[in-house]
Homo-oligomer: A and B are copies of this chain.
Amino acid sequence: FIKMNTKLNNFEEYLKNTIEDKFISLNRYKAGKPIEEIKREIFKNKKVKILKLASNENLTGVDKTILKQLQKELKNIYYYPDDSLYYLLNELEGFYKIKKENIVVGNGAVELIRYIYQILVKKGDKIFIPHPSFAIYYIDANLFEAQLITYNLMPPDFQIKYEDIKNNLDKIDDPIKLLIICSPNNPTGSIIFKNDLEKVLNYALNRNIIVILDEAYFEFVDNENYHNGLELLKEYPNLIVLRTFSKVFALAGLRIGIAFTNQYISKALNNIRLPFNVNTLAQKATILALKNYNTFVDKIKSIINQKYFLYSKLDQLKKEFNIDYIKTYSNFIAIRVKDANKVFNELLLEGIIVRPASDMNLGDYIRVTISPFKSHNELFIKKFKKVLKKI
């Protein structure tokens, strides 16, 4: 190995004065543990079947038609991606009925969140967010030195309500730069009703607050009072809707997130978008997913069915183990346990990866992905029960 930087000690002083402390002390997002990591670290590479229920992927995997076409596309990866996103934007425009001028595509939605903060948030700006919410909004607030203003969503349903948002915002005279609503919310799985959302958007518009409506889990909602953010765009120029292809569309590994918003904001976001940020296969896969949308309909149904299966199983465990869960509109479920970190670690030893929701500002809970397969969910329940008995 090359021994690095013998002169670092002298230069370090300069770096310490030059690179702000925050860049050194920032905590990165804690991702769900990959299967390979658990194989390596816990099972010492023995042949073990590991079930990952940690990152809300669609465990039916990649559709075969899509897979085959992507395999063909691979031979072209020696060329740069199309930075103009020509075919991708055409497809998005056609599918979502939103003009391409109103669309921004990112290397995952996390890249778009970073860009939104970058064009909007200055040091000291106030960002309002029902708590808990998706961890990235907190992390990027630290990065841009925004002031986060939160209020706690309440058990049992953790629903996001207009009245709560209004009451809390009414107390703040200062301008609010951003209001962030994840619906379905992560990690609670709860939603805001359409009626309430429209009131929030009106309130926000009157106060010049830009609203990020994060609909990453849009497709999993089985509630007729739910919203479709894209339909609200026409009325609300203060609205940015986020979607992702990492969840129902089973493309998390390729990284595709989409923002829909008015032309003024989308222009700014597109201007700071890194060249070639959306890789060749991500562009192709997104097109194929939309062209084959019907193949996802049954998968969504399976996941929703499995949600009710899990409810029934968890209801049986409720009293015996003093646990509870939050009713979810998503493909994950937050389960309250006595010691979330311990349950998480014990489940790892059983080959089941979940998330301790303390990483996501929701202590005492674990967040568990709902598999479309009954066998997966049965296995989870079996192991979960075993762990609960031990604790």
Query: Which A residues have a C-beta under 8 Å from some C-beta of B?
Result: 1-8, 10-12, 14-16, 18-20, 23-29, 31-32, 34-37, 40, 52, 55, 57-62, 67, 70-71, 74-84, 86-87, 97-99, 102, 107-108, 110-111, 114, 119-120, 136, 143, 177, 205, 208, 230-231, 233-238, 246, 250-255, 262-265, 267-268, 270-277, 279-282, 285
Contacts and interface: CB of A to CB of B under 8 A. Distances in A.
Complex copy number for this chain: 2
A253 B81 contact: yes
Given A78-B250, A108-B277, 15 more contacts: A2-B230, A4-B99, A7-B237, A8-B264, A10-B237, A12-B237, A15-B237, A24-B268, A28-B271, A31-B80, A77-B251, A77-B254, A108-B275, A136-B275, A254-B280
B280 A253 contact: yes
A19 B86 CA distance: 26
A107 to B, nearest CB: 5
Contacts of A208: 11, 14, 18
A224 B285 CA distance: 44
A78 B34 CA distance: 12
A282 B68 CA distance: 19
Contacts of A36: 82, 86-87
B233 A2 contact: yes
Contact of A11 (B20, B57, B76, B237): B237
A251 to B, nearest CB: 6
Nearest to A249: B78
B1 A98 contact: yes
Contacts of A23: 119, 268, 271-272
B61 A78 contact: yes
Looking at chain A's contact residues, the main secondary structure is loop
A9 to B, nearest CB: 8
Contacts of A267: 24
Contacts of A6: 234-235
B79 A12 contact: no
B98 A74 contact: no
Most buried by B among A59, A270, A275: A275
A64 to B, nearest CB: 9
B275 A110 contact: yes
Contact of A285 (B77, B251, B253): B77
A253 to B, nearest CB: 3
B11 A205 contact: yes
Contact of A37 (B8, B14, B84, B111): B84
A34 B283 CA distance: 14
Contacts of A2: 97-98, 230-231, 233-234
